C-alpha cells in the first residue's frame, strides 16, 4: 500500500506535513521574525513556502498564539484578544514621553528627516534623548546625512517599528480621515497641508549621502529591544 507523503500536494500547493513542522519549529525558535526566503533555505527545493505559511496561519487562527506577517516577515504573536493577559507586563514597561511619541510620529510620516526638520514640524526643540530612546527601542535608525551645510543626519523607521505596531508596510499608517475618526486629530490643517504619504524605502534619496564608516558601524551594533511576542 503506497504511503501518501504529500497530503497537501495539488497543482497550486506543494508541501508536506513535515515541511509544515519545519516551518513551525523555525518560527518558534527564531529570535526575530523571518522572511519566507530564509525559511526556504531550510526546506526542500520546490517547496511552496508561502503556501505552507498560509496553511500554518490557518491552523493557528483562533488560538492563543497566531502566525502573522508583519513588515514582510513571519512570526508567532499573541492573539489580539489575549492582550489583557499581558496588561500587567505592559504597564511595567517604561512609557514614552509625549515628546518621544511626537518625534516618532514625525519620523514615521516625514522620513527621511533631520533633527532640525523635526523641530520645525513640532514647533519646539527635540527633547534631549528623545531620538536616543527611539533608536534604543529599535524603532528609529540613522539613515544617512543630508547633502546640506553641516551634513545633518537623517532618520527613518525600521522593520521593528512596523512589527511593534502591527503594520505590514509603512503605507498602512492611518491617513488624515482615519486619524480624525479615531479621535487622534481634531483640528483643521491649514490650506495646502495634509498628512504626508509615508515612505520607508531603505535606498538613500538624491539629497542624502551615506553615513561615515564609524557611524555605520555604530548603527550596525546598536542594541535592539527584544521582539514583541
Pair 197, 144 in one domain? yes
**pTM score of the predicted model:** 0.65
The total number of structural domains in the chain stands at: 2
Over residues 149-158, mean pLDDT: 94
Q: What percent of the chain has pLDDT over 70?
A: 76
Cα within 13 Å of Cα(198), Cβ side:
21
Domain that holds residue 73: 17-85
Q: Report the SS3 class of residue 212.
A: coil
Q: Which three cell numbers stand for residue 167?
A: 503594520
Q: Which three cell numbers stand for residue 194?
A: 495634509
Residue 80: pLDDT above 70?
Answer: yes
Pair 147, 202 in one domain? yes
Residue 165: pLDDT above 90?
Answer: no
CA distances for 117 relative to 121, 215, 222, angstroms: 6, 20, 24
Q: 116-152: b or e for each residue (b if 16 or more CB lie within 10 Å)?
A: ebbeebeeeebeeebbebbbebbbbbbbbbbeeeeee
Pair 103, 122 in one domain? yes
Q: Would residue 3 count as lying in a domain?
A: no
Amino acid at each position: 500500500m503506497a504511503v501518501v507523503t504529500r497530503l497537501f500536494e495539488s497543482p497550486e500547493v506543494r508541501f508536506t506535513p513535515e515541511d509544515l513542522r519545519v516551518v513551525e519549529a523555525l518560527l518558534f525558535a527564531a529570535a526575530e521574525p523571518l522572511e519566507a526566503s530564509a525559511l526556504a533555505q531550510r526546506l526542500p527545493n520546490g517547496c511552496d513556502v508561502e503556501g505552507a505559511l498560509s496553511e500554518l496561519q490557518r491552523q493557528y487562527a483562533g488560538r492563543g498564539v497566531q502566525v502573522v506577517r508583519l513588515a514582510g516577515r513571519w512570526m508567532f504573536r499573541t492573539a489580539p484578544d489575549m492582550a489583557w493577559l499581558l496588561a500587567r507586563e505592559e504597564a511595567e514597561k517604561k512609557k514614552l514621553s509625549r515628546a518621544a511619541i511626537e518625534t516618532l510620529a514625525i519620523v514615521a510620516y516625514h522620513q527621511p528627516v533631520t533633527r532640525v526638520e523635526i523641530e520645525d514640524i513640532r514647533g519646539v526643540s527635540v527633547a534631549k534623548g528623545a531620538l536616543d530612546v527611539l533608536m534604543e527601542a529599535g524603532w528609529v535608525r540613522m539613515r544617512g546625512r543630508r547633502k546640506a551645510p553641516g551634513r545633518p543626519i537623517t532618520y527613518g523607521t525600521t522593520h521593528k517599528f512596523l512589527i511593534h505596531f502591527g503594520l505590514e508596510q509603512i503605507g498602512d499608517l492611518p491617513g488624515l480621515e482615519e486619524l480624525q475618526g479615531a479621535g487622534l486629530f481634531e483640528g483643521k490643517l491649514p490650506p495646502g497641508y495634509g498628512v504626508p504619504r509615508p515612505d520607508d524605502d531603505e535606498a538613500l534619496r538624491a539629497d542624502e549621502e551615506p553615513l561615515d564608516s564609524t557611524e555605520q558601524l555604530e548603527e550596525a551594533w546598536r542594541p535592539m529591544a527584544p521582539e514583541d511576542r
